[in-house]
Chain A
Amino acid sequence: MQDVENIVNGQKLFLKPEYQEVFKNKKQFESNAGSTNPDKVIEIAKWTTTWEYREKNLAREHITINPAKACQPLGAVMAALGFENTMPYVHGSHGCVAYFRSYFTRHFKEPTPCVSDSMSESAAVFGGLSNMKEGLRNCKALYKPDMIAVSTTCMAEVIGDDLNAFVIGARKDAEGELDNTPIPAAHTPSFVGSHVTGYDNMMNAILQELNMVEEGVEVEKDAERINIIPGFEPYLGSLKEVKKIASMFSDKIVMIGDHEDQWNTPAGEYKLYAGGTPLAVAKTASTAKATISLQRYSTQATAKMIKNDWKQTYATCNPIGLGGTDEFVMKLSELTGKPVPAELTKLRGQLVDAMQDSYPYMHGKKFAIWGDPDFLLGVVSFLVEMGAIPVHVLCHNAPRKNWEKEMQAILEKCTFKEECHIWGGKDLWHLRSLLFTEPVDFMIGNVYGKELYRDTKIPLIRIGFPIFDRHHLHRYSISGYEGALNLLTWITNSVLDALDEETKEIAKTDFFFDSIR
């Protein structure tokens, strides 16, 4: 029973003897296999750690277990929230939107605006046009957005709703209420690609909608303007950091799809929309001399459109780690024609100094890492720069073309390259087998690594998306020199934490429990 002087929640309540008795009582009703036969559980648990199991596991083709990816419309919601006063609108059942909002809300610990047009059985039969007609009007009336960014769900895609015709129809139906509201629409079927594909499709749709380029008409270019598209970026600090670096070169470099403020609003008052690229700025994106994408694989369709239609320089830079940031900085210098500011050189020097201070703790340490394609290219290159060994690099949503080649090129530079493996299209249950058979010292990944941590005891360093079970990591940067310093700090200190843990046993291992590391 609770002690009123010391009320405990479930974590400790259920350890009390009377609850342990309840669990024991329950066992008899549970089952014949599994839970009531501990020997069998131990036997199978052991078997799941073997090479035999690994081979069986890696051979599976039909079931995916613990994926490391999500579906398209989630990315579309992020892309939409990068624009000022824009409401993401999902054409489909509201169940999907409930999931997207919860998912982002749990990661950022911030509200996530997004509406759906609540399609159900009747829409499945008759199509979702009437939902869209009413939905766009209600959305405009209640939430007063300046732009409504429509994406689709697998339901709308399977029944084959004619998205563009629907938007035109809804606009006509709205008696003028939607006249001055851009409504970009993107097909984002959940059964194609992943959330990064959805980001790409929505970004592409928004930019096309706002920058109607008529065929044969040459757009007048602004000789100084440069766009930066961040990609599916869960680190708000990275957005800030990139803008800071860009501003050191020119105030005519703008971020297109800037969702930093939307998920970092101050206490005091709730506002539906916050920050975002102003539509006026986004509307002139095609007049820029160049666009830089920070994530190649989150912006493939967008890149194609910009290169073909806008006819401007298009570059990809991935400013994670030292080399990645160097490239980004040099690209900015090249495009602006300005030398690298002394301040950046100093920041770089400070980072390198820190890397040289800490390297012994990362050198030769083995890592398993998973996440989105561009995230991995960046963080793995940083591991390699530090002399660490990315033993297992797992990308569930690796694109069919080029990604593995690009990753291989990074691993070629690794001092221990023969120990590194790329696992494209694999999930986290595959990784579990890899970790048991070819263990590593540390894992880097999202919240779903926590079960791998429990099973394998390999420490998890939480870097990636989503992270639900730790607070405020998304506020930091993983991009730029300061971002690299964050990566260095998180990883090195995790190594030191593990070292302390291993050496804390009194009179046994604590001869190495040093105060000086």
Chain B
Amino acid sequence: MTTETLLSQQEAAIAEVLAAYPEKAKKSREKHLGVDMPEGVKGACDSTKSNKQTVPGVMSQRGCAYAGSKGVVWGPVKDMIHISHGPVGCGQYSRAGRRNYYIGTTGVDTYVTMNFTTDYNEKDIVFGGDKKLKAALAEIDALFPLNNGISIQSECPIGLIGDDIQAVAKGYKKESGKPTVAVSCEGFRGVSQSLGHHIANDMIRDEVLPDNSYKKDFVSTPYDVAIIGDYNIGGDAWSSRILLEEMGLRVIAQWSGDATYKELTIAPKAKINLLHCYRSMNYVVRHMEQEFGVPWMEYNFFGPSKTTESLRKIAAFFDETIQAKTEAVIAKYTEMTDKVIAKYRPKLEGKTVMLYVGGLRPRHVIGAYEDLGMKIIGTGYEFGHGDDYKRTKDELSGSTLIYDDTNEYELEQFVKRLKPDLVASGVKEKYVFQKMGLPFRQMHSWDYSGPYHGYDAFAIFAKDMDLALNSPVWAHTKAPWESN
């Protein structure tokens, strides 16, 4: 397809979906949709509105502030207990719903896949739940003596009835001497999970980073770095960490997949903070820069091109020894990834992809697909902000449909019109597109495979994309007696 045809199709698709909306919703939605290209004038990446209220009455793919804090930032911290404070549902639906891998004895010294909740009932709503919360904290410590702290993740009713959970946490922290943090991440706050990330970061800033207990005995080396904004989905942080270690760096903290409370507190001891998910953790690296003078750098470990570029960028921050080692690491793995590309690129070359995910992935994964010869024709963020879109423009290689906070209706229409070979999005969308006989990969959770970060993981990514696109099952969609 020529660029012109693609462009006109993309523009037609937007016009088509907008036509279905009532006037008010249409006016709102048209600001979130557009087309952009790598070169030339201002495109959708510059003008798209983002981080705005979702149009009511649509099937949005967005989550809430609670999901951002409990599900993403705090929940993966493995040696702390995270209480879903409020009614039973939120904790239950988010229980083990993200594949934040960790190593530990669950229920004894690690707790990530468990669900602790104050299970609010009517009485708590009427009379307030502060007392119950306080008593719950004590029960937790009695039953889980190896916990290294507790976080309280508030659900909607808490903020609405005005419970003072901050005071409860402060009081308990004083009494028990244990880190106790109340995060006011009620689901109605903000427009998506994004505000939850920010609120969660602010609590790390205020309640965790000032804790010097582990910092004082910490012996620094010139090569200390921290991984920030990797949630270890399917083990991503581990397959990233190995590269940093091989290039001679010492990873002193990992936020927050497979993290411990101690790792949260010692991150300011790093010589540089390496930030993967910009959206969810840029707030706290900026703070660490300001408060502790720790510089930060973004990196992208999806696909060998981006990984190599990022490794060199990281190495440039250090001395020649590191740089030399880094080149050796790159050389070693490039041999392997070249073979991976030689094996899979012929099967994937020219295939088109439409993406719709959260966090950093709508832009970060583009390079990985391109390394396999695949082409992104549409991408968008569930909860991105303006700076995410600006960062996206650099990643585009052709005419690309840009959709912010798109919903199931729009995505379905876009896909029907543009007919990508692969859709890569989340579990709620997965079966919609598979029904149509379209290959699909979950790009929130790597579809129960992964990891996808780093060189070893790229081999898995390539294999998974081949599995998705070239499976014989898609050919069975139509019965032999049905005409095409």
Contact = CB atoms under 8 A, between A and B. Distances in A.
A473 interface: no
A31 interface: yes
Given A45-B105, A158-B125, A30 B260 contact: yes
B320 interface: no
Given A1-B333, A62-B135, A70-B92, A191 B21 contact: no
Contacts of B101: 10
Contacts of B90: 71, 95-96, 99
A142 B26 CA distance: 11
Given A22-B242, A117-B56, A118-B55, A10 B63 contact: no
A172 interface: no
B432 A67 contact: no
A155 B158 CA distance: 9
Contact of A63 (B63, B65, B116): B116
A13 B461 CA distance: 13
Interface string B149-175: 000000111011100000000000000
B103 to A, nearest CB: 6
A136 interface: yes
A138 B408 CA distance: 13
Interface string B115-151: 1111111101100000011011001101101101000
B459 interface: yes
B75 interface: no
B238 A100 contact: no
A363 interface: no
B346 to A, nearest CB: 14
A89 interface: yes
Interface string B35-73: 000000000000000000111111111111111000000
A222 B250 CA distance: 79
B115 A65 contact: yes
A19 interface: yes
A203 interface: no
A25 interface: yes
A412 interface: no
B24 A134 contact: yes
Contact of A30 (B156, B161, B189, B263): B263
Interface centre among A45, A100, A270 (most CB of B within 10 A): A270
A434 to B, nearest CB: 15
Interface centre among B89, B115, B476 (most CB of A within 10 A): B89
Interface size of B as a range: 35 or more
Contacts of B61: 98
B210 interface: no
Interface in A128-187: 131-132, 134-139, 141-143, 153-155, 158-159, 177
A86 interface: no
Nearest to B464: A9
A19 B95 contact: no
A61 B160 CA distance: 24
Contact of A98 (B63, B83, B119): B63
Contacts of A31: 79, 148, 260-262
B454 to A, nearest CB: 10
Given A30-B79, A67-B115, A124-B160, A451 B262 contact: no
A307 interface: no
Nearest to A34: B109
A22 B238 CA distance: 7
Contacts of A70: 88-89, 92-93
B24 A94 contact: no
B340 A109 contact: no
A293 B429 CA distance: 33
Contacts of B118: 62-64
Contacts of B121: 191-192
Contacts of A22: 238, 241-242, 245
Contact of A159 (B59, B160, B253, B343): B160
Nearest to B121: A191
A93 B187 contact: yes
Nearest to B451: A10
Given A19-B238, A100-B93, A158 B55 contact: no
Contacts of A192: 121-122
Contacts of B434: 267
B63 A95 contact: yes
Interface string B99-117: 0010111111110011111
A19 to B, nearest CB: 6
A371 to B, nearest CB: 14
Given A67-B119, A192-B121, A1 B252 contact: no
Nearest to A8: B460
Contacts of A33: 79, 109, 146, 148
A351 B20 CA distance: 54
A69 interface: yes
Contact of A138 (B55, B79, B106): B55
A98 B155 CA distance: 15
A185 to B, nearest CB: 14
A126 B122 CA distance: 23
A10 B449 contact: yes
B244 to A, nearest CB: 10
A251 to B, nearest CB: 29
B59 A114 contact: yes
B122 to A, nearest CB: 6
A173 to B, nearest CB: 11
Given A95-B65, A124-B188, A62 B93 contact: no
A63 B460 contact: no
Contacts of A23: 103, 238
Interface in A6-21: 7-10, 13-14, 18-19
Contact of B254 (A26, A60, A103): A26
Contact of B62 (A8, A94, A105, A432): A94
A96 B89 contact: yes
Interface centre among A29, A109, A190 (most CB of B within 10 A): A29
B339 interface: yes
Contact of B53 (A100, A120, A159): A120
A464 B433 CA distance: 28
A254 to B, nearest CB: 28
A29 B107 contact: no
B72 to A, nearest CB: 13
A73 interface: yes
Enumerate the 4 nearest inter-chain pairs by beta-carbon distance, A residue then B residue, closest first: A95-B64, A71-B89, A34-B109, A135-B57
11 contacts: A4-B336, A40-B109, A74-B89, A94-B63, A97-B59, A111-B429, A155-B188, A158-B160, A189-B125, A267-B435, A451-B113
